Amino acid sequence: MTQQLLNKLYERKANGQKSFAVLIDPDKVNLENFSNLLDLCIQHGADYIFVGGSLITDYVMTEVIAKIKSYTNIPVILFPGNSLHIDSQADAILLLSLISGRNPEFLIGQHVISAPILRKSGLEIMPTGYMLIDSGRQTTVSYISNTNPIPHDKPGIAACTAMAGEMLGLKLTYLDAGSGAINPVSPEMIAAVRQSVDTPIIVGGGINSIKKAKNALSAGADVIVVGNGIEENIDLLREIAETVDSYSVGSIQ
Ligand code: 1GP
């Protein structure tokens, strides 16, 4: 199985390049004006399009991914909530092990069910230590996964969890405050995780302003993920893309 996107992400990190992932929740896509969003992703150089969510009710994923693939070469990476969210039209999948929780189903159970399907799918597998961080209220993902998030003011727990994930061989670390979080993951926590692992760090949940994006990037995030913020204000896509670019080595901030 190829590791093209994973290798590229490690390369980008080594070169001090930050990345921007636009998260598309298939339930919220209006297929009629979807091309508008895709045009903006192309125009402003989104690095990845993540597709998924912890709860998908409409099951238009196939149409959504087909549309993206027919429109652009931006890599499509699945961000699945469970084994029903596998779609071989995508380029890769974040194979998430929910290491902040203690629910075996999301640590290994869904993975066992998915393994033979994934092997046949041809999808690039991106093994990811996925950590939910408390954002002040319960999120869909913590409810659905039946797990407790890591307290937002305990960077030490996040650092040790990330370290354990890396020692277990997970190649990416994802810190997620949950979709639409009021408070994103704190810079202190991102910095603590940055010091504890060498994997690229993905940060998402509640990043809905340039300031929040800058906080995450300055603290050590390699990839920032934005979903809700763009759904609410499409101009944010350009603003975040420019912010991410300005953080890459060689750029003047
Ligand atoms: C959530 O990291 C993602 O799982 C993105 O969150 O929708 O709040 O940007 P938002």
Helices of type H across the chain: 4-14, 34-43, 61-71, 104, 110-121, 140-145, 155-167, 187-196, 210-219, 228-232, 235-247
Q: Rounded to the nearest 10 degrees, what angle do helices 235-247 and 210-219 cross at?
A: 30
pLDDT value at residue 56? 78
For the chain, domains (ranges, CATH) are 4-245 (3.20.20.390)
pLDDT computed for residue 1 by the predictor: 67
> Does residue 206 line the site of ligand 1, with CB under 6 A?
yes
Report residue 60 as tokens.
Answer: 């238009």
The pLDDT score that the predictor gives to residue 250 is 64
For residue 233, give both structure tokens: 């204000």
Does ligand 1 come within 6 angstroms of the Cβ of 229?
yes
- Indicate the pTM of the whole model: 0.97
Among the atoms of ligand 1, which is closest to the Cα of residue 208? 9
CA angle 220, 200, 86 (to 5 degrees): 130
| pLDDT for residue 54 | 78
**Ligand 1 within 6 A of 207 CB?**
yes
Ligand 1 lined by 26 (C-beta under 6 Å): no
Give the residue from 49, 9, 70 showing the smallest Cα distance to 230. 49
Q: Is the CB of 204 under 6 A from ligand 1?
A: yes
Protein residue with its CA nearest to atom 2 in ligand 1: 204
State the 10-residue block means of pLDDT for the chain, 253 residues long: 93 97 92 93 98 82 95 97 92 98 97 97 98 93 94 98 98 96 96 98 98 98 97 96 89 58
Q: Are 89 and 124 in contact (CB under 8 A)?
A: no
Q: Provide the angle, in degrees to the nearest 10, between the axes of the packed helices 34-43 and 61-71.
A: 40
Contact between residue 78 and residue 51 where contact means Cβ atoms under 8 Å apart: yes
Q: How far is the CA of 184 from the centre of ligand 1 (A)?
A: 9
Residue 251 confidence (pLDDT): 66
